[in-house]
Homo-oligomer: A and B are copies of this chain.
Amino acid sequence: MTDRVLPTLEDVALKVDVSTSTVSRCLNEPWRVAEATRNRVLTAVAELGYSPNFGAQVLAAKRTNTFGAIVPTMSNAIFARGLQAFQDELMRNSATMLVSSSSYDAQIEEHQIRTLVARGADGLLLIGKRRSKSIYKFLEGRGIPVVMAWTIGKAHPWSYVGFDNAAGSASLAARAVELGHRRFAFLSGERAMNDRASDRVRGVVRVLRQNDLEHSGMCIIESAYTFDAAGDAFQRIMESSPRPTIVMCGNDVQAVGALKRAQALGICVPEEVSITGFDDVELATVVEPGLTTVHVPHREMGRRAAELLLAQVAGECGPKRIKLQTHVVERQSLAPPGG
């Protein structure tokens, strides 16, 4: 920043010979100003190249029109589409988006929540709902609207725009059972602070139980959401005996990691083992064989999260729960066992 001076409201007011209030109103509540005045003011604004001082505006108006989004990662596509939709919708409403990524780390996330709030975020988009009591208390104390996405929940006073992770993976598991699979393994993300990961496992267990299949002994291995880590985990799973006929993965990244490792090991997919993902990102369409996965309406989630936050900040509504539907997308990585 330099110390060059920019025109202020007062400069505009002087030039048009009205009060600063009138200029301010022209910009914020134009309908409350007579058309003739408004035109003169707006002309002057344009001529001077006036633009409101952000700090002053925030200080006086007590809102920043800025919303924070904290996602576990920006490096892969899982949250990218949702984030993009979120920001598009904000921009349509002339709000802006602050972003951080937490690397799937609860502590970092907590720190970032505090940072974004301190930065004056009017509302927050968070992923998932499992986090410390203290941070919820903090948020409640500040009265900041929060939308949690990629999940649904019922805790007050928060909003949710998401889907039922358990139901999503359950429908995929049901389809696998239908195809004849009996020995399941689950390659999960770390479930400790991640409700989405644990729900996805839970959905599968439920289906197995309902079908009177072995479920308590289902091999569940956790890995980070990277190709390599997932590949390693997959390899460990395939070394167990008896081998599962299907490895369901916590998300598409893990599934692709598993798939690649299978190919490296000379294990045929889906002939020797089926692999499934979750999310239906671009990646799933690109690998060979195509990944059977659960489609998640990322863009809609992002958009509606933004809508909801904007409405809540404007006082137009309170917390809401919006549940979206997922569906199974069948490609080639899931097939009957024994090829």
List residues of A whose CB falls within 8 A of some B CB. Answer: 1-4, 6, 49, 51-60, 62-64, 66, 73-77, 80-81, 83-84, 87-88, 91, 94, 96-101, 112, 114-120, 122, 141-144, 227, 256, 260, 282-283, 285-288, 313
Contact residues in B for A63 (Cβ distance below 8 Å): 1
Contact residues in B for A94 (Cβ distance below 8 Å): 115
State whether A84 touches B77 (Cβ < 8 A).
no
How many Å from the CB of A13 to the closest CB on chain B?
19
How many Å from the CB of A288 to the closest CB on chain B?
5
Contact residues in B for A288 (Cβ distance below 8 Å): 287-288
Complex: how many Å from CA A144 to CA B44? 24
Query: How many copies make up the complex?
Result: 2
Of B3, B81, B227, which one neighbours A75 at CB under 8 angstroms?
A: B81
14 A-B residue pairs with Cβ-Cβ distance under 8 Å, sorted by A, are A4-B141, A4-B143, A54-B64, A54-B119, A55-B60, A56-B59, A58-B58, A58-B59, A59-B59, A66-B119, A74-B84, A87-B100, A91-B100, A91-B115
Whose C-beta in chain B lies nearest to the C-beta of A73?
B84
Contact residues in B for A99 (Cβ distance below 8 Å): 87, 97-99
State whether A52 touches B96 (Cβ < 8 A).
no
Whose C-beta in chain B lies nearest to the C-beta of A256?
B286
Contact residues in B for A64 (Cβ distance below 8 Å): 54-55
Contact residues in B for A74 (Cβ distance below 8 Å): 74, 80, 83-84, 87
State whether B84 touches A75 (Cβ < 8 A).
yes
State whether B143 touches A1 (Cβ < 8 A).
yes
Given known contacts A1-B63, A1-B143, what 16 new A-B pairs fall within 8 Å (CB)? Answer: A1-B62, A49-B141, A54-B119, A55-B56, A55-B57, A55-B60, A74-B84, A75-B81, A75-B84, A76-B80, A84-B101, A88-B101, A91-B112, A96-B98, A227-B286, A287-B287
